[in-house]
Amino acid sequence: MTEIAIGAIVLIMLIVVFMFGRSRQMGGVEADRTARHKEKESWAEESVMSYSEIQKLRQELIKSVEEKLSNEPEQVERLKEIINDWAHLKDKGFRDRRSWVRSPGESEE
């Protein structure tokens, strides 16, 4: 009789441990799923601009900076560099986003 009780207690403990481990795994899966969903939403909300749109906006920004800060040439040069870097990154992002369609076999840099 005691053997049956001990066996039942061990069985109950195994079931509890199994259920607890499974629920923790499911929590991890849900966290991963949520993170992937947020990443997809951020990609969907990103503004994708063509090369001509980037260049147009870059010229507008540089012109605006030159007009507003004409008496501070050092600041103008720094802002121009930042604007040019931004334009380069936007253009690279546009090309990288489309490159997988044209050449899916190439590895990333």
Q: pLDDT, tens digit, for every residue of 49-104?
A: 778 888 999 999 999 999 998 899 899 999 999 999 999 988 887 777 665 555 55
The DSSP call for residue 107 is: P
Are 59 and 100 contained in the same domain? Answer: yes
Are 74 and 29 contained in the same domain? Answer: no
Are 38 and 54 contained in the same domain? Answer: no
Give the model's pLDDT for residue 99.
Answer: 58
Give the model's pLDDT for residue 108.
Answer: 47
In a domain, 109, yes or no: no
State the residue range of the domain holding 72. 49-104
In this structure, the number of other CB atoms found within 10 A of the CB of residue 20 comes to 10
In a domain, 59, yes or no: yes
Provide the number of structural domains found in the chain. Answer: 2
Are 39 and 24 contained in the same domain? Answer: yes
In a domain, 21, yes or no: yes
Residue 27 has which token pair? 């929590």
